[in-house]
Homo-oligomer: A and B are copies of this chain.
Amino acid sequence: MDISEIGKFALLDRLNAGFEARQLTSLKTFDDAAVIAASDRPKQICSVILLEGIHFNLVYMPLKHLGCKAVTHAVSKIVAMNAVPRQILVSVGISSRFNVADVEDLYEGIHAACRMYELDLVENNLVASLTGMSISVTAVGEASEENLCYKSGAKVNDLVCISGNLGAAYMGLQVLERERRIFESNRTQPKLEGYDYVLQKQLHPQARIDMLKTFEDNGIKPTAMTDITDGLASDILHICKQSEVGAKIYIEKIPVSSETFAVCGEMNFDAVTAALNGGDDFELLFTVPVSAYEAIKGLPGFEIIGYISDASQGAYLITPEGNELKIKAQGWTSVSE
């Protein structure tokens, strides 16, 4: 059977089903990060792998930005547990195309991320690669057990919230891809002026580590949380599945920046599709009890986009006209060798 037939998440479920927890040390598995008990503060651990040609294209992604973005990926998963990232482990596979200066550029970005997120690099490994570059980052964080947020905690009537805005990173990628195609066909220098915001979100995104303080300062404890890496559609479905609930998301409430709208207009691209299915936003999708409404509503940089419903009702987008559209996960995108 081809993987696209079954889909990534159904295949992962199938693969995970064979494993039983055998130790009491693992509090939670298969969330944004694994939670491993330590006697005082549980540790969260997550691991991400980025592959050249799939997750990044070095034609327009500077190595320094790539190093930083790889760390952001892993850090974002720890933040999505409402935990503070502390350490990272890095393994890099490099083919003969790369020289010492290239590797140093990559690590300059990793270093910058360590400073930005206040992380220790505690392990570092280089291996030869047959084709291209691969980067594996493992992040370790910590939180008290009462602060931890799992994907499984959403309750019926909870409000669904999002930090920042969505779709910008995806439209940044579309601009870069368009300019790459133009350059390859007629060697015209890329025109990237005026796209600063969406390019910044694609090339130099930041994990929303600042939200940890916002939550703490305002006494907000999300009931469920994840970070938007696969797109809002996939990520709300993960929360619904693990919490055994449904959701109603109001399309007109999904935050999209004016810059993203402008690029969508220029490129004839539907902004809602970019927001729903575009990845790499690293914004936080979370649910809070209705009782937190007062604490949330005045805060800048949050948007309440819907509410949690009963599982039997499924997960739906509500159009401005009141129509309901079933939310579907994206399929597995395989790539030809």
Q: What residues make up the interface of A, taking CB atoms closer than 8 Å to B?
A: 1-3, 5-6, 8, 11-12, 14-16, 18-19, 21-23, 25-26, 29-30, 33-34, 36, 38-41, 43, 45-49, 51-55, 86-87, 89-91, 93-101, 103-104, 107-108, 111, 114, 118-132, 134, 136, 138, 140, 142, 332-337
Contacts and interface: CB of A to CB of B under 8 A. Distances in A.
A134 B129 CA distance: 10
A91 B337 contact: no
Given A11-B103, A93-B51, A30 B111 contact: no
A152 to B, nearest CB: 15
B128 A131 contact: no
Contact of A16 (B118, B124, B127): B124
Contacts of A22: 114, 118-120
A80 to B, nearest CB: 13
B30 A124 contact: yes
A333 to B, nearest CB: 6
Given A23-B118, A51-B129, 5 more contacts: A16-B121, A23-B120, A38-B39, A45-B45, A52-B130
Contact of A43 (B6, B38, B46): B38
Nearest to A77: B123
The secondary-structure label for the interface of chain A is mixed
Contact of A49 (B11, B29, B122, B134): B134
A200 to B, nearest CB: 24
A130 B333 CA distance: 11
20 contacts: A2-B100, A3-B94, A3-B98, A11-B100, A12-B125, A16-B121, A26-B120, A26-B122, A29-B122, A34-B122, A38-B40, A38-B43, A45-B123, A49-B127, A51-B130, A91-B136, A95-B336, A96-B336, A130-B335, A131-B132
A134 B132 contact: no
Q: Which 7 A-B pairs have the closest CB atoms?
A: A38-B38, A34-B122, A53-B130, A96-B334, A49-B91, A136-B136, A1-B100
A25 B52 CA distance: 33
Contacts of A103: 3, 11, 15
Given A6-B100, A45-B45, A130 B54 contact: yes
Contacts of A132: 130-131, 337
Given A39-B39, A40-B39, A51-B134, A121 B91 contact: no
Contacts of A87: 23, 25-26, 34, 36, 45
A92 to B, nearest CB: 8
Nearest to A92: B49
Contacts of A19: 111, 114, 120-121
A181 to B, nearest CB: 18
B15 A124 contact: yes
A72 B65 CA distance: 33
A98 B335 CA distance: 11
A128 B54 contact: yes
B15 A55 contact: no
Nearest to A21: B120
A38 B14 CA distance: 33
A93 B49 contact: yes
B134 A47 contact: no
